[in-house]
Amino acid sequence: MVVTAIVLFIAAFVVVAAVGTMLQGGNDSGGGGPRAGDENGSPDATPSNAPATASIDDITLSGTSDTVTERFELSSGVAIFRMTYDGPSNFIVTLYDSTGEYVELVANEIGPYSGSSLVGVSNGIIGASEGEHYLEVKASGPWEIVIEHPQTSSASPIPTTLTGAGDDVPEPFEFPNGPVQFTMSHQGSGHFGVTLYDANGNYVDLLANEVGVYSGSTSVSSGGVFGASPGVHYIDVDADGDWSIEITAI
C-alpha cells in the first residue's frame, strides 16, 4: 500500500508540472498567442508614443474698411500673408507686436490687389518674434488676409525655375552645399525686390532691389557667417509685373 501511494503521488506531481509548463509557454513572448494590442499576433504598426506631424492652422482675417484686427499668434519659422482686396483706393497692411511696436509693412497698394508677402519669425533683429501680433488695415473695400505657417522639412532640389506675376511667395526649394546662382528677370514698371529666407525665418540675402524692367544674376554660397545653410529656403518677391527666377548650382 505504501509503494502504491508513493507511485500515485509521483504521477500526480508529474501531471501538475506538465500543466504548469504548458501555461508558462502560452504566456511567453515567443509563443504563438497574440500580443496585446494586435489580435493577429503581430506588433502594433504605430507605437503610441510616435510623434505626430506638426501642423499649424491658418489664420483668416477679413473686413470691409479700416480695421485693427484681433490679436493672433505667430509661430517661429515662416509666416506667409496671402491677401486680396477689392477697393478703389489704398490698401495698407501693417504688422505690430503685442506691445504696439511696429514690425513690418506687409502691403502698400492702390486699387484691387491679390498677392502674398513673407514675414520671418526668427526672434532676431529683422522680422517678427514668436508670440501675439495684430494688423492695422487701411482699406476702402472688402479685404481678406490668410496667414499660413508652412511646416516643410523637404522641398524641390535645384536646378529649378520659379515664375509668377506680382507679389508672391513661390514654393520653397532645397539649398545645397556650395554656391548657387539666381538668374532673375522682371517685366514691370515698379519695384522688383527678391529676398531669400531659410525655413526658420532667418533673413539670408537681398537678391534684387531694382525698379522697372530688369535682367541679371547674383550668387549666394552656403556656409560661413553670412552665407546660407543647406536646407529648405523661401523667396519673397515684390513685383508689379511678370517675373522669373532660375536657380542653379555653380
Residue 162 CB contacts under 8 Å (≥ 6 apart), including other chains: 170, 171, 173, 235, 244, 245, 247
Q: Are strands 156-157 and 173-175 parallel, antiparallel or unpaired?
A: parallel
**Residue ranges of domains in the chain:** 58-151, 154-250
Position 39 scores a pLDDT of 39
pLDDT for the residue 8: 36
CATH topology of domain 58-151: Jelly Rolls (2.60.120)
What predicted TM-score, i.e. pTM, was given to this entire model?
A: 0.78
Neighbours of 206 (CB within 10 A): 11
pLDDT score for 226: 73
197 and 186 in contact (C-beta within 8 Å)?
no
One fold for 58-151 and 154-250: yes
Q: Whose CA is closest to 131, among 80, 81, 71?
A: 71
Amino acid at 48: S
Closest to 214 in 3D by CA, of 236, 245, 179, 170: 245
**For residue range 152-207, what is the model confidence (pLDDT) as tens digits?**
889 999 999 999 999 999 999 999 999 999 999 999 999 999 999 999 999 999 99
pLDDT score of 54: 66
Instruction: Return d(Cα 30, Cα 77) in angstroms, integer.
Output: 47
Q: What is the pLDDT of residue 53?
A: 43
Q: Which secondary-structure segment (H or E) carries 144?
A: strand 143-148
User: At 164, which amino acid appears?
Assistant: G
- Bridge partners for 226 per DSSP: none
- Please tell me what DSSP assigns to residue 53: P
Weakly modelled stretches of the chain, pLDDT under 70: 1-54
Mention the CATH class of domain 154-250: mainly beta
